[in-house]
Every structure is written in structure tokens, then in C-alpha cells.
Amino acid sequence: MATLPGPGAHVLVAGGGVTGPAVARALLRLGAEVTVADGKPAARAKIAADVPGITVTDLDGLDPSGFDLVVVAPGFRPDAPVVRAAERAGVPVIGDVELAWWIDRAGAFGAPRQWLVVTGTNGKTTTTQMLEAILLGAGVPAVACGNIGRPVIDAIADDADPRVLAVELSSFQLHWAPSVRPRAGVVLNIAEDHLDWHGSMAAYTADKARALSGEIGVVGLDDPVAGGLPATVGFTVGEPQPGQYGVRDGVLVDGAGAPVVAADRISPPGPAGIADALAATALAQAVGVTAEQAGEALAAFRVGAHRAEPVATVRGVTYIDDSKATNPHAAQNSIEAHERVVWVAGGQLKGADIDPLVARVAPRLVGAVLLGLDAGLIAAAMARHAPDVPVVRVTSGDDSPVSPVTNDANRSVGTFVAGDVRVSGDADAVMSAAVDAAARLADVAGQTGPAPVVLLAPAAASLDMFTSYGHRGDAFAASARALGAAS
């Protein structure tokens, strides 16, 4: 661990967004002189008002050579100009989680906490929420923090003094936190994601694997990449080997074979939810929680918003918001929890290959409605791997006719022509049209078999159209509920 930046230290905080104010306040508490740089005037004005005692400046063209330390927001790429300039000047560059670790290990804000770190391409937030619920249910003073919303540095500065931190960390945060050595950490799974940021799958995997650098490393054995990482314990949604967490006779069991909870009591249902519950149990047991205590908490746990959340049932069709499924691997888990699916998907694929997902889930799909920047790439994959599944693409434009363009031919589905729907209006209007198209596909599919679910599992990021995945999920839910009000 490096020396804490105390009195006399000049620290540059690059990025004044979510983590910037927390970092600035912590550095001021340590006695450092703090400059916050951001490229957006509104962000500079806000942090200047929120955190008295700091200097605020424009990030563009800033020379960091006069500082003793640079603390970057998680989204800063390793090749960002301020990072490159700091490296050339010999100024250390770290992230907010690394700074929190330094402060915590030094006992600057109270006795060091026990860190339980959760990472993976998918399931991080649900696992972290489960972990926090288990810890609190067992009477352990704990708080969820990190990528889940609350900055870690705020959690360790909390007067409530949580003794255990359930820390969700993204690959970005782990990249900028090389010193973190948690009490226990888990890598749930690893699939293509953020390759535009990391540069390669190998680099992405290496950053994720940093979660396993502490005393206890836990990996998802059903995932070929995560399961191949060096670890002390693993979990599987199948029958476990000795020492593994898994499912035996419909019951989750811990590494000693002790029963935890019946699999059918886990929320969200399906293999992904079970895997998250096993991972959370393994981490909680690293700080003394019993299998019985974990089971009680998991039986009462309910998944948060936008994570496989049923939002409406209309004419026998259930509408499910899994807007948090922002990459193909997450969408696969979501789709495979259901037998028949009208899939609502699209957005920014971020360089991920969509073909393996479509090829795998094609037998479950009875329709697809696509929107967003990379809808065309998903439509092309549907044409290759699911040519008999009707596809509707919804786009924003000056008018709203239906053009008979499909992934196969100009094919009618019942009385509904699958094709392109052009909508006048904003992102919410596009989602409303998408849900309407999905409802019609579901009605037709219900005439030839069990009613499908309409599932928003975009396999892509949201910022091409929406302000966040939450906004996207809210738009889907509102549109689905409006169908019920109109019927």
C-alpha cells in the first residue's frame, strides 16, 4: 500500500460524477489539497457547490505533472489523455476503490473492515444484494457498496461503522484497484463485455480475476472461463463434488453439504438466481454466517427492479423487465429461464458477438422485437440462426408506417405483419411501440401453444436511446401496464 495522501499532498481527482464528490471529501478529511477536473461545466459547477474547499478545473488539456497522485473515476480508460500524461510525468494513477482500500487498511476512518468482493459479467448486483441481506439477517453490521451505487469510500467513512462490506466491483473498478485483497471474493462468470475498454478478452479476464486475490477465492464452475481461474472454492447449479456449493435433490447446499434453502424459493427463479444465491452464501460463510442463517435470508429475498422483474400480466401473458441484462451472456440467462419467449432486445452491443446467443436460444423464441443502435446486427443474427422466428424492428422517424421488411420474407404472422415499425417520438414512444408489437406476437404465439412471456432482455447497453437501463426498464414496464389498462 502506498502512503496515504495527507497534509501537503496535492491530489487530482479526474471526474466529478458519482464517485468524485466522495473521493474529494475523503481526501479533504485526510488533509490533502484537492483539485477536481471534469470536462463538463455542469459537473464542475455541481461538485464545487457540493464540496467546499476544493479547486475545480477543466479536464481538457490539463497537465497533471504538478500533482502527487491522480484518482480517476472508474470509466477512465488506461489510454485516456490525463492517464497517459500522468504516467509520463511519473504521477501514480489509481481509482476510488484503491484509495478506499488504502484508507481502510491504514485505519484512518476506523478499524479495517472485512471486504467481500463480488464481480462477474452478470449477476453482480443481485449477488451483492443477496449477500447484504444474508449478512444483515445474521446480525452482521454490513453494507452493500461499490458498483451497486454507494461509493466504497463513503461506506468506510460511515459513522454507522459497518464491519463487513459487500462490495460489487466492475472490471473498470478492479483495473484501477490493484492492491485490494478481500477477505473473500467471487468471480461469478466471464463473457464478452467491455472489450472496447479493455482491449481484449484476456485483459478483461485478468482484471476480473483480481477479485480472487484475497484469502478465499470463489468461482462459478459452470462458466468455462471463470471456472478455469485459480480459486479455493467453487459453486455449481448442478450436483456438487465434495467441498463445492451446489444443488442436491432440489436444495441448495454449502461446501460441507449442509442444506441452505430449497431451490424453488430463490428469487429470481432459474439457474442464474440459484448461482447468485450459492455465491452469496459462500461469501457470507467466509465471515461466519451459518447455512441456516443464509437460507432464511435467501427465502425472504426478492430481486430488485429491472432484474427479471415481472411488471404486468395482460391477457395471460407475463411481461418481464430484465433491462439489467446489458450483454449477451446476461440475456442468455434471462431467456433460458422460460420455455417460450417474445424477446425485446437491442441497444449498444459494445463490440460483443450476438450470434452465439441467438443460436443457443433460438428454440425458445416465438418472436423478437428489436430496437436501438445495433438492432440490425441482432436482426442479421436472427436471419442466420432463427429464420422462422418473426422479427419486428422499431425505429424512430418522421412517420409511423409498417414496412414489410423481415428477417426471412414479407411474412404475415396471424393478422400481424412482421417487419419494420417507424415511430414518431422519443425513446419512450419507441418502447411503447415495441411493447405493442411484442403483445401482438405473443397473442399469435398463444394460439398455437402455451402463452409465452414477453421478456425485455436487451443484450445491449441503453445509452444510445435511454438515460439508463433503469429508464429503459421503466419505459417497458409503463408500456406493458398501459396494455392492461387499455384491454
Annotated binding residues, as ranges?
120-126
3-state secondary structure of 150: coil
Helix axes 20-30, 96-106, angle to 10 degrees: 30
Helix axes 124-137, 291-300, angle to 10 degrees: 120
Distance CA 418, CA 440 (A): 10
Please give the helix or strand (H or E) that residue 383 lies within, else none. Answer: helix 375-385
Residue 413 burial (CB < 10 Å; 0-12/13-18/19+)?
buried
- Going by the annotation, the residues of the binding site for ATP are 120-126
- Cis previous bond, 182, omega within 30: no
H helices of 193-314, in order, are 195-198, 201-209, 271-285, 291-300
Whole-number Å distance between alpha carbons of 376 and 400:
18
- Cell matching residue 175: 483495473
Distances (CA, A) of 131 to 106, 124, 284: 26, 10, 6
Q: Note the helical H segments in 96-151.
A: 96-106, 124-137
Nearest 10 degrees: CA dihedral of 77, 79, 84, 87?
70
Compute the distance between CA of residue 275 and CA of residue 309 in angstroms, rounded to an integer: 17
Among 412, 355, 350, 352, which Cα is nearest to 379's?
A: 355
Beta strands 164-168 and 142-146, pairing class: parallel
- Take residue 465 and report the three cell numbers written for it: 436511446
Q: How many helices (H) and strands (E) does the chain have?
A: 16, 24
Beta-ladder partners of 117: 167, 185
- CA–CA distance, 163 with 156 (Å, rounded to integer): 9
